[in-house]
Every structure is written in structure tokens, then in C-alpha cells.
Structure 1
Amino acid sequence: MKKERRLHLIYVVKQGDSLNRIARDHHTTVATIVAINEIPNPDVLVVGQTLVLPETPNPNRQTIETNAYVEWYTKNVPVRLSQELRKRAPLLTYMMPFAYEVKRDGTLTTLDWGDLGDIAAANRTASAIVLTNIENGAFSDTLAHEIFMDTNLQDLIIGSALQEAKKHGAKDIHVDFEYLPPEDKEKYVEFLKRLVSKAHPEGLTVSVALAPKTSANQPGKWYEGHDYKAIGEVVDFVILMTYEWGYSGGPPMAVSPIGPVKQVLEYAVTAIPPSKIMMGQNIYGYDWKLPYKVGNPNALAVSPQYAIELAKQNNAAILYDEIAQAPYFHYWKDGVEHVVWFEDARSIEAKFKLLENLRLKGIAYWHLGFSFPQNWALLQQMFHVKHIV
């Protein structure tokens, strides 16, 4: 039964296929398929490309919460990012502008949201204030340590965050402190307790981003300062950063291969109630030049939609790695071989099934701005998204 349902949800393009034939065989229209998948050129399909086909959502589908981090690199919010949020906000519980950097004097860096707050509010999407220990472009363990050692400084930071939350009508304070040394593990929890004690009376929740651990004592600078169990007992919910196995400076591979993601989630639910866990999910891939060598120029981030266009432009068939549960393809440009790993309907459905099976709170996307229409189509078909405002 499950196999039959999947085949009706997702179609993989074969040699000789056309949208007319696919629409006729599945009792729908070309216009419907184009709209669901936001296909820019319906006359050209790629072998291995996936299409989400229309299906009436199951009225008994699981209710989850969703989040999208929203990051931009210019002073003002780009128009295309506002447009993307306007399009996706109806399927978002939270929208988290990234990010406020905590300063050593207890203030926060400025962040001009533009019209993002208004778009979120119009769609009943809650917003959050995201606090980071980023300093000079990188996560700083020394900055975090200074904060943890000074409760007066903590109170100033918390006061600044609450003021910013009031200004924007935010519902959550989200903390993304990374690369914390193991000796600050307990101090981080104490800071979060202090934040919760001041945020809850103001009607705000507190959430935390966590490195993707598979055991309590996992070694490594990214992991050792995050105590899943202790943090999970304090905060309202957590977001697991279950992505970046394949990353811009590393060797080519799937960004979020299903096996490692599953390992993290299965450990997480032993330490934190599933109802408090959001699975992190990338909505981008990477384009690597081959052969890969350490120190080569970093891979370029690409949206799933652009990845399909690259395959079209280069007449490349899209393949699917059944172990990683991720699509990829090779192409050549200027005499140089490239490989692109990205996400498609099959890979995101595999993650959705993990979410379903473990009964998690929901999913959090890093980050809005990459076009992945199939994700949103499947999300709507497979889940009911809860709004808290």
C-alpha cells in the first residue's frame, strides 16, 4: 500500500517522456504538473528528474510544526527573498531571520527585517529572535565563555533580546551558540535556564540549535558543548542541524544522507522527547569541480530548481543514490568535470518518513531563499502544518 501511494505522489522522468504523456497517464493536466513543480520550461524534461503529481492531502495526516531560517547577505532584504517568504509562509509555523550577533557589551548587532515580519504576521507565521555567538564572521568560543561567566552580561543580552522580540512581535527566542568547549557545557545550560526564566513570563518560548550528535560523549569541537539531555529538559524545543555532511569545502557527497540523519535522530529521541525535536533540513545542494582536492575552490551552493536547470543545459541524466537517498549528476564545463548533489522529491520524502516514524515535532529548513517547490508540495500533501498565532 505504501509503495502504491509513493508511485502516485512522485514520478521519475524516463527517456522519451513528455509532460503531455505523463499528465494523460496520471489523469491530470500539464498545467497542474507545471504549477505544482514550478517548471520554468515545460517543453524540456531531464531523465531522472522527479515530478510531484497532484494528490488530495490525507485529512488524517500528522500535524507538525515547521520553521525556515531566513538569511541574507546585504543590508536590505532582497526582493526575491521577500517573494519566497510570501509564497511559503502559509506552510511555516516559524520564520527565523538569521541572525543577531551577541556583543561583549550585552547589546546585539542590528538586523533590518524589511517586510519579512509583516509577511509572516499576515500568514499567521510566528517569528523568532535568533541569537548567535558569531564574532568577526565566525562562531567564537571565547565570546560565549565570557557571557557564561558573567550573569550581569547575560541579563543585558537577555534584556536586549526581549526588547527586540517586543519590537517585532516575535514569539520565540532562538539560541544558536556553536563550537562551545566541553568545560562550558554546564554553563551553557545555566544560561539557557536564565533565559527561559525571563522569556516565559513574557509569553515567549525558547529554542536551541544543536549540532548533529549520535552519542552523549561524541568528540569534536562542534559537539562537546551541547548536552542534549540537559538542554532538552530546559528549553521548549530544539532544532537538530542534520545537514552539511556534504559541505562546500569538503569532498562531494549528499548534504544530508539518510543514514547519518537517521542515526542522529534515533540518538536524539533517547535524550529529548520527540515532541520537542525539529529535524533540520537543507534546501540546497552543491556543485563540486572534479577531481576534488583539499584547498580547491569551494563548491557552489545551488538550489534544487537550479540543479535541474544545470542538468538540462548540459544534457545530463540525473541519477539517484539509493544508500544516501539523494540525487546527483555529472557534467562538463570548460574541460572540467563537475558533480552536483542536491535534493529532490524522493530525498525529501525519505526525510519526511523519518519525521513521521519518530513522531517528531517537525522540520526546520536551512535556509529560505533556495527554490525547492517539490518540498513544499509534498509537505502540504503529507502533513498538516500547525500555526501558533
Structure 2
Amino acid sequence: MQIHIVQPGETAESIANLYGLPVERLIIENAIIYPNNLVVGDTIVILYPEITYTVQEGDTLAGIAEAYGVTVMDLLRNNPYLSDREYLTPGETIIIQYADPKIKKIAVNGYAYPFIENSILRKTLPFLTYLNIYSYAATPEGNLININDTEVIRTAKEYGVAPIMLITFPESENRENDITHRILTNKEVQSRYVNDVLHFLNTKGYYGVNFDIVYIFPEDRQLYIEFMVNFVSVIREQGYQVFNTYGASTFELLTGIAYSELQYANISDYVDFTILLPYELGFSIGIPLSTITFNTVQQFIDIAITLIPPEKLQIGLSTIGYIWELPFLECISRGNAISNTAAVELARENNVPIEYDVSTESAYFIFIQGNEEFFVQFKDARTINAYVQEVAKTGLGGIAVWNVMNFFNDLWLIVNSQFEIDKVIM
């Protein structure tokens, strides 16, 4: 696998010729819409096929998979555009196997809202081990608020992906009004909470549960550890997998406060995976995680693996970029979310090159519309590769992608080329 950076004057055809690849394949794999109008500084992932097959009349994916001793999911990962098709086209070439050797097998967690577009979901599922559905929220009375997740759960299982019930808690400035505090200290509220979690696990068809750890007030921390250890044991006895997620903010990582959250690391002895995940939402007031140095992320991982076995850790990767209007005003400027695809298209429309900041492992550009100036920062193939190399170097058990509401082509090309993706539902 190689990453090519588009230079001035290059086209999809000239890049394909440079690497000795069919231009049609390069265009399909990289989802190139304008092959003769590439954006300078954009990334093109170069992969070399080792085994290919030319589709014959009457072929099916299942039949081809059986003939080559692979799975249908293998074929969909190597040819994700096929997820949009009902039939194969005779004469087209599909990839059976790429030349890159797989580094190791990893678990891949994806996060999605229940209203994810069905075509995007089906295109993404072959790359996932688990799908975390966001989210069940606890009320002050200890009940969980139900969500419309039936169809997403069914579709995930259809692709051999384990649906995971994600539980979140709203944070509170006041301990007495804090929902986590009420659950830990009020036996009646705690009983409702436990019963609701088990009820939804049993009736919805979930494979497991993921507890999103929020700020715990100092007086409640030991209670939290004791409660979680006991509750996790109950859940696992019923055959479910259990995850816990540490969602670190920019402030927490820069100040080192995030490291204190790892004081709950002993809970990780009882769960299947611990996820170090930066939640980034549809907007950002202040500085988002993508602006911190990648070295800070590496330091967080290095500390985490001294407390938690690396094979039980997954590093979170946010797919979200942001666009800000300049000048940037601290605590006032609002950055709106933007995907990789939308960012590249914006650079094309404004005829500006994409730059790359190695310290933060993020792509960026500045453009002007009328009298307004904007700054765009986002993830590209180089960002993904940095995280992939960190997983390989530290022996982490996998990655967790926040979120999969858009299909991030570079992400899945690189992950699929470097790793074998575990499937826990066959």
C-alpha cells in the first residue's frame, strides 16, 4: 500500500500509469469523481491486486467466494462498490486478494446513529466487527430511553457484525443532580437501571453493551468501580460482551486530566475491550481534538498500555473534520463538521491546494468566498495511516471509528489492506 499525493497537472490516468495500474481500477478504488480535475495535495491510495477474477454470465458473489476459498465479506471489502449493486456485470474485474500481507487480525468498532442511511450502512458493515448504536440515555429515575434501532440491528447481523448497545450519561455540574450519582447511591434507581439494561439486551437482540464513562465525582468513584465490577459480571454471565469507553476531550488530553480517567483501569480486567475514543460532534466551540499533536495521542496510548493489556485496547479515530470562519475567536467561533469527501470537493470548487500538517496528522486548506475567509481541517489517508501504524507498533486490539455515518473511502482502503478484520458472528 502506498499513498500518492496529487501534484499539479496530474490526472487519474497519469497516476495510474506511474504505478502501472489500470486507470479504471484506480478510479473505482479511490471513488474518484473527476479523474481529469484532481485536487492538488489530495491523497490517492495505491494498492496492487494479487488475484483477480473476470465475471462470467451467471456468476454470484457467493459462487466466486466459494471457488476461491474466501468469504463474501472478503469480496465486499476488496470491492466495496459492489454493495450498491444487485447483480454482477459480465466482463468486469473484481479483486479476490491484494498483494499487501496482513499485519494481524484486529477488531473494528464503528459508531452510528440509528438513522444512518441504509446504503452507507451496507457498504460499511463488511469492514466492521462491532456496530455501536448511539445511544441509550439514562434518566434521573434510572430508566433507559428507548430508541428506534430494530432495523439497524437486523442489518448488522445480516453482515456478521455484532450490534452493541451504547449507554451514555449526560454530565452535570451539580453532584446532587448527576444521574450517575443517583444510580450509584439510590438502590431503587439502581435497580431500574440494571433491569432496563438487561431488558433491552434480551429483547432487542444485542450482542453486548458499551458503557460510556463520563466524569465521576470524587466521592462516587469507589462506588462506581464496585458497581461496575458487579454489574459487568452479571452481564457477562448471561453471555454478552462488555465494553467501556473513555471519551477524552482536547482539554483533558492537553492538561493530562485524561490520564486520571485511567484510574478506572481495573474495570478493564472485567470487560472485553476498553476504547479510547474522542467524541467529536456536528459542531465545535473551542479547539477540537484534531488540532492537538499526534504525539499527545501517542503519549496517551503509551500510558494506557501500562495499565491495560494492549490487546484489550482499541484506539478511537474520528472521521470528522471542521470548517471555521476566520478570524478565530476563542470560545465564540463555531466550527461546523465536514467529511473528507465534502472537504476535498470544497477545495476543488475554490481551486485551492490541500496542505498537510505532520504534527497533528491532519490535512487543511484556507479559502476565500467574497469577503469571508475560511479554514478547513480534516482527515485523509495520511491521518489514517498514522493511526494504523500506531496500532501495529503498540499491539492494540483494534480501532474504533467515530463515526460511520459517511463512507470514508481512504479509511477502509487502508484498514482492509493492512489488517484482517475479525468477525465474531458467523
TM-score, normalised on structure 2? Answer: 0.81
Query: How far apart are the structure 1 equivalents of 2:374 and 2:331?
Result: 16
Match for residue 108 of structure 2 among 66, 84, 97:
66
> Counterpart of 2:284?
248
Matched, 1:262 2:298: yes
Match for residue 155 of structure 1 among 180, 183, 191:
191
Residues 243 and 282 in structure 1, CA contact (< 8 A), matched pair in contact too: yes
Q: Point out where structure 2 has 5 or more consecutive residues left out of the alignment.
A: 49-97
> Counterpart of 1:115?
151
Match for residue 364 of structure 2 among 299, 304, 328:
328
Query: How far apart are the structure 1 equivalents of 2:279 and 2:140?
Result: 30
Cα deviation for residue 212 of structure 1 reads 3.7
> Counterpart of 1:127?
163
The one-letter amino acid of 2:238's match is E
Query: How far apart are the structure 2 equivalents of 1:100 and 1:34?
Result: 40
Q: What are the superposed Cα offsets for residues 177-198 of structure 1, whole Å, 9 maximum, x if unpaired?
A: 3122233222221221122121
> Counterpart of 1:34?
27
Matched, 1:179 2:215: yes
The one-letter amino acid of 2:25's match is T
Match for residue 188 of structure 1 among 211, 224, 239:
224
After the TM superposition, which segments of 4 or more aligned residues of structure 1 sit over 4 Å from their partners?
138-141, 216-226, 242-245
Cα deviation for residue 39 of structure 1 reads 2.1
Check 1:354–1:225 CA distance in 2 against 1; reply closer, same or farther (3 A cut). Answer: closer
Query: How far apart are the structure 1 equivalents of 2:288 and 2:240?
Result: 41
Residues 284 and 370 in structure 1, CA contact (< 8 A), matched pair in contact too: no
Check 1:218–1:199 CA distance in 2 against 1; reply closer, same or farther (3 A cut). Answer: farther
> Counterpart of 2:403?
367
The DSSP-based 3-state class of the residue aligned with 1:316 is coil
> Counterpart of 1:382?
418
The DSSP-based 3-state class of the residue aligned with 1:107 is coil
Match for residue 386 of structure 2 among 334, 350, 358:
350
Residues 102 and 417 in structure 2, CA contact (< 8 A), matched pair in contact too: no
The one-letter amino acid of 1:37's match is N
The one-letter amino acid of 2:12's match is L
Residues 123 and 407 in structure 2, CA contact (< 8 A), matched pair in contact too: no
> Counterpart of 2:315?
279
The DSSP-based 3-state class of the residue aligned with 2:245 is strand
Matched, 1:14 2:7: yes
Matched, 1:93 2:129: yes
The one-letter amino acid of 2:128's match is L
Query: How far apart are the structure 1 equivalents of 2:350 and 2:217?
Result: 46
The DSSP-based 3-state class of the residue aligned with 1:103 is coil
Check 1:108–1:222 CA distance in 2 against 1; reply closer, same or farther (3 A cut). Answer: farther
The DSSP-based 3-state class of the residue aligned with 1:118 is helix
Residues 322 and 376 in structure 2, CA contact (< 8 A), matched pair in contact too: yes
Aligned length, in residue pairs: 374
Cα deviation for residue 228 of structure 1 reads 3.9
Cα deviation for residue 210 of structure 1 reads 0.8
Matched, 1:315 2:357: no
The one-letter amino acid of 1:342's match is F
The DSSP-based 3-state class of the residue aligned with 2:156 is helix
> Counterpart of 1:290?
326
Q: CA RMSD in A?
A: 2.8
Q: How does 1:215-226 map to 2 (within 5 A)?
A: 224=260
TM-score, normalised on structure 1? Answer: 0.88
Check 1:209–1:87 CA distance in 2 against 1; reply closer, same or farther (3 A cut). Answer: same
The one-letter amino acid of 1:166's match is N
Identity of aligned residues (%): 29
Query: How far apart are the structure 1 equivalents of 2:198 and 2:44?
Result: 44
* 30-39 or 42-51, larger mean C-alpha shift: 30-39
